[in-house]
Amino acid sequence: MVPKIRIDPGVVEARIMELARIGACYETGVCRTVYSPEWVEAQAVVERWCTEAGFATRRDAVGNIWGRVEGSEGGPAVVSGSHIDSQLPGGRYDGALGIIAAITAMEALVAQFGPPKRPVEALSFCEEEGSRFQGASFWGSRAITGQAPEGLADRLIDPQGTSMADAMRAVGLDPARIHEARRTDIGDFIELHVEQGPILEHAGYPVGIVNVINGARGYRVTVVGDSNHAGAMPMDLRRDPLVGAAEMVIAVQQNAVRLGRPAVATVGYIHAEPGWPAIIPKSVTFTINTRHNDRDALNGMAAAHEAAMREIAARHGLEVSWTGGDGLDPCPADPTIVALLEQSARDQGIAALTMPSGALHDAQRMAQIARMSMVFVQSKDGRSHTPEEYSSIEHCVAGIQVLAGGLYLLAW
């Protein structure tokens, strides 16, 4: 039985607003990339919160911040947290709320029930979004799980020409020691996060409990034709790669629509070369992001994309090629952790919907070394990765209570 866990709404709101001021942009947005001055300041605030709560704090080899409460009986650690970095621009809640939730839940549990039996840790991942260094997504959790390839930090370059390795050195981290961030003593991991979609709001639930995280397949596609004069080249003689690319984009969208929820497919980037109004393009590059929580359905949708691109290219006399097609497989949450979170919600009288996660999260990586699940908090209008994202304090508190109940059952 999980007793009612008291969470102070005022503390939650104050912490949200304190972090939101660091890297504030676009009125209600946040611009805070890994190893930037804003990132350094935000991680220092998280570390201060942990210290003030009485946690033992440390920074690991990639800059993740850990706050630990020792357990009287020892054993593998129970860990909760999320990421500190943002999209450009992002909002106040994505990532940040999960860190605030972990610290606030642990603080409340120690105050109400004393020290835990198992060690419990709050974790602020140094990076999840990959918004500064393309290819660095999940950098913090990859390092923790031993999935940060040697030399990668030297190869990743930001738009200003700075390597991730140099950015690490600038904030006092040594890229040669990345391997030291690996952990093998974590038993359970729970990440609280805003939903980033409309499902909870549409269904009328403040809180969700994640039973599977979507898998993803990504492509970077190049379509090549003939560049020529936009006025002098007859339509029937053209090899226009933008026309072919447009049909491919529609085909990608229709493949997901035919499959139905939870299938999604997105073309988020497209570029025509040379890209001038009076010139038929020579080539077009675009991306495809495809997601589903069933591996066979995900692979089937990816195969349908590839078949459509080949057929459209052949029909228009174009050349098509792509890189990628791999990615992350769907990641089921641990049934035991899901059941504990469901019990926590029931015992505390909080309505919660057990549901899949459409977005990808650090929890997906952490599942390689620990039992994993997630707690979602309703997102108003399903908005995220935008300054307009918003979750009410009432819903945030409910989510933290569910998280705290899960930690209680695991560690207290």
pLDDT at 18 > cutoff 90:
yes
Say what the pLDDT of residue 328 is: 87
What's the rounded mean pLDDT across residues 209-232? 97
Burial of 3 (0-12, 13-18, 19+ CB in 10 A): exposed
Q: Mapping DSSP to helix (H, G, I), strand (E, B) and coil, where does residue 62 land?
A: coil
What is the CATH T-level fold of the domain 9-213+330-411, as seen in this structure?
Answer: Aminopeptidase (3.40.630)
Q: What is the pTM of this model?
A: 0.93
**359-384 pLDDT per residue, tens:** 999 999 999 999 999 999 999 999 99
Read off φ and ψ for residue 306, nearest 5 degrees.
-65, -45
At 65, which amino acid appears? I
Q: Within its chain, how far is the Cα of 173 from the centroid? A: 23
SS (H, E, C) 91-156: CCCCCHHHHHHHHHHHHHHHHHHCCCCCCEEEEEECCCCCCCCCCCCCHHHHHHCCCCCCCHHHHC
pLDDT at 28 > cutoff 90:
yes
**276-290 pLDDT per residue, tens:** 999 999 999 999 999
Percent of the chain whose predicted confidence (pLDDT) is above 90: 98
What's the rounded mean pLDDT across residues 235-240? 97
pLDDT averaged over every residue in the chain? 97
pLDDT class of 128 with cuts at 50, 70, 90:
very high
Say what the pLDDT of residue 101 is: 98
pLDDT at 326 > cutoff 90:
no
In DSSP notation, 332-346 reads EPPHHHHHHHHHHHH
Residues of the chain with CATH 3.40.630.10: 9-213+330-411
pLDDT class of 247 with cuts at 50, 70, 90:
very high
pLDDT class of 120 with cuts at 50, 70, 90:
very high
What's the rounded mean pLDDT across residues 219-246? 97
Kindly report the CATH number that applies to the domain delimited by 215-328: 3.30.70.360
Say what the pLDDT of residue 308 is: 98
Q: Say which DSSP state 297 is in.
A: H
CB atoms within 10 A of CB 236: 5
Residues of the chain with CATH 3.30.70.360: 215-328
Q: 181-194 burial by CB neighbour count: b if 16+ within 10 A, else e? A: bbbeebbbbbbbbb
C-alpha to C-alpha distance for 82 and 375, rounded to whole angstroms = 11
pLDDT at 61 > cutoff 90:
yes
**143-180 pLDDT per residue, tens:** 999 999 989 999 999 999 999 999 999 999 999 999 99
Say what the pLDDT of residue 134 is: 87
pLDDT at 72 > cutoff 90:
yes
Q: Mapping DSSP to helix (H, G, I), strand (E, B) and coil, where does residue 252 land?
A: helix
What's the rounded mean pLDDT across residues 260-278? 96
Say what the pLDDT of residue 270 is: 98
Say what the pLDDT of residue 325 is: 80
Percent of the chain whose predicted confidence (pLDDT) is above 70: 100
